[in-house]
Structure 1
Amino acid sequence: MNAHRDIQRAEGPATDDPRPKSAVSSAVGLTGLIGLAAAIAVGRYFGANGPLSGMAAVVACALPMVAWTIFVDKTWKNESTGLDWSRKARAHDETREISIAKLAGLWATWAIIAAFYCIGRWYWDGQYLFAMRMLATAAPILFLLSIPYIFWIDRRLKEPKDGTYMFGAWLMGDRGEIDREQLIEHFRSWAVKGFFTAFMISIVPGNWFEVLRWSNADIVASPVALASFCIGLLFLIDVAFATVGYILTLKPLDAHIRGANPFTQGWVAALICYPPFILMNPNGPLDYHQNVGDWALWLEGNVPALTAMGAVLVILTGIYAWATVAFGIRFSNLTHRGIITHGPYSWSRHPAYLAKNAFWWLATMPFIATSGSIVDMIRNTAILGLVSGVYYWRAKTEEKHLMADPAYQEYWDWMERNAPVPRFFAWVKRKVGIRTLVSAVVE
């Protein structure tokens, strides 16, 4: 069998080696894309470029995906939801105490997140102000809706005593059956959700405005303008889908968090890419923009070159956005919510990171400095190299986390045998190894 696979690696992808099934169907993302496109068309027609209109577009993106997930894919029947439909729901008397403890744990968790928001000064300035207003408005609604939801789902769950229950039981003085690992997992998962949900909501208005501000005439005025509009549009798609993903972590949709990354290095690698911990901001340790122009500046006046470069950058941004769309309602950093194997994830295990970093290198051209200083050129190139290294680090910590799931191991192995990007790097390693061996023999 191993020899057979070695031959397949040399000759090409295996034709009798089917790709592992994806946890999300490609149709989910497509329906969300259609809903978002409709919202953008309506928004542009009416000039609705305000922040609430941006959030309405996120809702328009979410609703078709939820409908498809429920009525077509019927993921609520999946074994991975933990819901049991094979028997009649438990009586309320059986689960009432569990649900009360779980509500106590859930509300206390929300209170901790709210306290974190209050203490963090960055949440009350700039773009985060909008996110705080949205979350404050949603809080009483979520509080009320959580009551019937928890009482309903606990009657259907095979194992209702999860980490949320453990926290609530601990708060209520019941220390007898507390599972420490479940409790830790509960806090890890909600730390991800609390941190990234606020960030995603905060950047929706800016990305929405960036797409709505362009007139049709301005869009086609030049290759640079057309590329800039398309890139802005693709970033909006990415942000909208990511925002939906962080909000809809629900078991009946099979979109819940199976586990949050337990490795400290994984959290460090991710958090240094986001505010307030971001290291790539202006004057930050990994700021590679000192005296850097951009592709439009260096190619100015050369229309064919501007057109070609603009097209490449749009394609790279498209791959980046597609990588988020492929998750449907499940996108999230630092978590496992099902293994995605379709779309760009059939080419590379980390298509978003590859596309994003390639975009930065081509768009900024750090090896050219407006100051003409060799020092600036070397410094900016080296720092962007470090930034790319951070994303390589993120990729490896994510794989380390996901490798605990046999489904990801199967996907990883399949990619090594069939996917273009892993096969390319394997080919490079073989070539380098052969050259090293030849050099050693010659010497």
Structure 2
Amino acid sequence: MNAEVRVVPAKGGSPSTLFHGTLARLCSRRFVSNYLSTLAFIGLSYWIITALSNFHRSMLQGQWQLGMFGIDVVITVHAVFVALIAIYAVILVPYYAAYPWMRSKAFTFAQGLWFALRRDRSNLRLSSLARQAGLALLLKFFFAPLMINWCLIHIANLTGSLLQLIAGSGDSLSARELFDTALFWAAFQLILFVDTLLFTIGYIIELPALGNRIRSVDPTFFGWFICLACYPPFNDLTLRFLEWQSSDFPQFSNDFLHLAINSAVLVALALFSWASIALGFKASNLTNRGIVTHGPYAFVRHPGYAAKNLAWWLGALPILGATLAAGHWRAFAYSLIALFGWTAIYALRALTEERHLLLIDNGYAQYAQKVRWRFVPGLW
């Protein structure tokens, strides 16, 4: 569902004609309303994040100390946010000038809200376009800052791991010591950085040329509920019922088993990141931005969820093995219930996403018939 009306501009013309045409676009009511409404949304979001949300305020206090090659600079998450907002405000000018037919989501929602208030304040009913625009804005407001923060964390950790890897290569470290201290973590952070970078771009950039315009956002409460249950700060509540059992880096006394299991964790996370790479600039939660059928999506419909859960189950092997060997059946059962609980949450996320994608005729039904398996080929 697009909140836009297309008016195809005439092509060609002299440089003078093109200049005056561009100037006319910049002065048009459509451009001004698009630009100012989007800036107003960004400003309102920034105020909420910095003044009202304790979660976001703590997130913005993060720092990255760049101390290499003779450079000693401290970069704060807050400073990065401010810089990105400034860059975004500049880029919006040629963006809206290049697409004069476009109606921004902020303007669509504000206009729909205004019409609804004028019509009946006691029974506020937004049009379908305005509701979808509002959901898209809410989606960007929640996920964009979170993904930007995670990107910075992965960059900082990746830099530290690479420096440690370089330093460790010159020392007389065993294969396991080098793997444990640097190699695993460098690969781990690189894989997750690729994933979060693509989702960050997906949330903040929509371009017709990239084919990643948001067609619709999941309109159901349960779809949002089951998705947000996996992300901070909401997952704090989820973790009260399903205590986390997995480790990013499971430890085993046997060197071969240790290297094999942790290499398998990296392979699972690489498959997870491959799914994000296949999505490309369409990567985002709760949205319909077109159907992707290549890469791992040619084999299963939810490869990212399957791979992430595989990594979690591998990471839980030490605690499962320890409780089972010690005969702590209650602890073993609790760990299994928690792991199955998180797997069930992601199964529900997959089902709600499919329900959303089937709301309109966009080819997903045909794709589901061709790719029968949701998570594991031949099983489910």
Normalised-by-shorter TM-score class: 0.7 to 0.9
Q: Which letter does structure 1 place at the counterpart of 2:362?
A: P
Find the counterpart in structure 1 of residue 165 from structure 2. Answer: 215
How far the C-alpha of 1:200 sits from its partner, in A, is 0.9
Preserved CA contact (<8 Å) 1:162 1:182: no
How far the C-alpha of 1:400 sits from its partner, in A, is 0.6
Matched, 1:367 2:309: no
Per-residue CA deviations over 1:17-63 (Å, capped at 9, x if unaligned) read xxxxxxxxxxxxxxxxxxxxxxxxxxxxxxxxxxxxxxxxxxxxxxx
How far the C-alpha of 1:138 sits from its partner, in A, is 2.7
How far the C-alpha of 1:368 sits from its partner, in A, is 3.4
Question: What is the aligned residue count?
Answer: 336
Q: Which letter does structure 1 place at the counterpart of 2:370?
A: W
Find the counterpart in structure 2 of residue 415 from structure 1. Answer: 371
Give 1:274-313 correspondences, 5 Å limit: 274-279=231-236, 284-289=240-245, 296-297=250-251, 299-300=252-253, 302-313=254-265
Change (3 A) 1:204 1:295: closer
Preserved CA contact (<8 Å) 1:257 1:335: yes
Q: Which letter does structure 1 place at the counterpart of 2:241?
A: P
**What stretches of structure 2 of length at least 5 have no aligned partner?**
13-17, 63-75, 120-124
Change (3 A) 1:388 1:193: same
Preserved CA contact (<8 Å) 1:288 1:381: no
From 109, 112, 123, give the equivalent of 1:167: 109
Find the counterpart in structure 2 of residue 28 from structure 1. Answer: none
From 252, 260, 264, give the equivalent of 2:209: 252
Matched, 1:235 2:189: no
Preserved CA contact (<8 Å) 1:82 1:251: no
Partner Cα distance (2:321, 2:272) in 1: 25
Give 1:11-410 correspondences, 5 Å limit: 87-88=10-11, 92=24, 96-117=28-49, 118-126=51-59, 129=62, 130-154=76-100, 157=101, 160-161=102-103, 163-169=105-111, 180-213=127-160, 214-216=164-166, 218=168, 221-223=174-176, 224-225=179-180, 226-279=183-236, 284-289=240-245, 296-297=250-251, 299-300=252-253, 302-365=254-317, 366-369=319-322, 372=326, 373-404=328-359, 405-410=361-366
Partner Cα distance (2:368, 2:27) in 1: 40
Preserved CA contact (<8 Å) 2:323 2:329: no
Q: Which letter does structure 2 place at the counterpart of 1:402?
A: L
Change (3 A) 1:131 1:410: farther
Q: Which letter does structure 2 place at the counterpart of 1:189?
A: A
Change (3 A) 1:346 1:374: same
How far the C-alpha of 1:344 sits from its partner, in A, is 0.7
Q: Which letter does structure 1 place at the counterpart of 2:200?
A: T
Partner Cα distance (2:351, 2:236) in 1: 19
Change (3 A) 1:238 1:264: same
The 3-state SS of whatever aligns with 2:291 is coil
Partner Cα distance (2:335, 2:351) in 1: 24
Which segment is superposed worse, 227-236 or 117-126? 227-236
How far the C-alpha of 1:102 sits from its partner, in A, is 2.5
Q: Greater relative contact order (Cα 8 A, min sep 6): structure 1 or 2?
A: 1
Partner Cα distance (1:210, 1:93) in 2: 44
Preserved CA contact (<8 Å) 1:294 1:363: yes
Q: Which letter does structure 1 place at the counterpart of 2:108?
A: M
How far the C-alpha of 1:415 sits from its partner, in A, is 0.5
Q: Which letter does structure 1 place at the counterpart of 2:222?
A: Q
Per-residue CA deviations over 1:48-96 (Å, capped at 9, x if unaligned) read xxxxxxxxxxxxxxxxxxxxxxxxxxxxxxx9x9866684499648992
Per-residue CA deviations over 1:279-321 (Å, capped at 9, x if unaligned) read 478x6332233xx778743x31x22222322232121111011
Normalised by the size of structure 2, how large is the TM-score? Answer: 0.76
How far the C-alpha of 1:359 sits from its partner, in A, is 0.8
Q: Which letter does structure 2 place at the counterpart of 1:216?
A: I
Change (3 A) 1:324 1:110: same
Preserved CA contact (<8 Å) 2:158 2:185: no
Normalised by the size of structure 1, how large is the TM-score? Answer: 0.66
Partner Cα distance (2:59, 2:166) in 1: 29
Q: Which letter does structure 2 place at the counterpart of 1:378?
A: A
Partner Cα distance (1:421, 1:288) in 2: 22
Preserved CA contact (<8 Å) 1:128 1:199: no
How far the C-alpha of 1:333 sits from its partner, in A, is 1.0
Preserved CA contact (<8 Å) 2:147 2:200: yes
Change (3 A) 1:200 1:161: closer
Cα root mean square deviation, aligned:
3.5
How far the C-alpha of 1:231 sits from its partner, in A, is 2.5
Partner Cα distance (1:407, 1:128) in 2: 44
How far the C-alpha of 1:258 sits from its partner, in A, is 1.4
- Matched residues, percent identical? 23
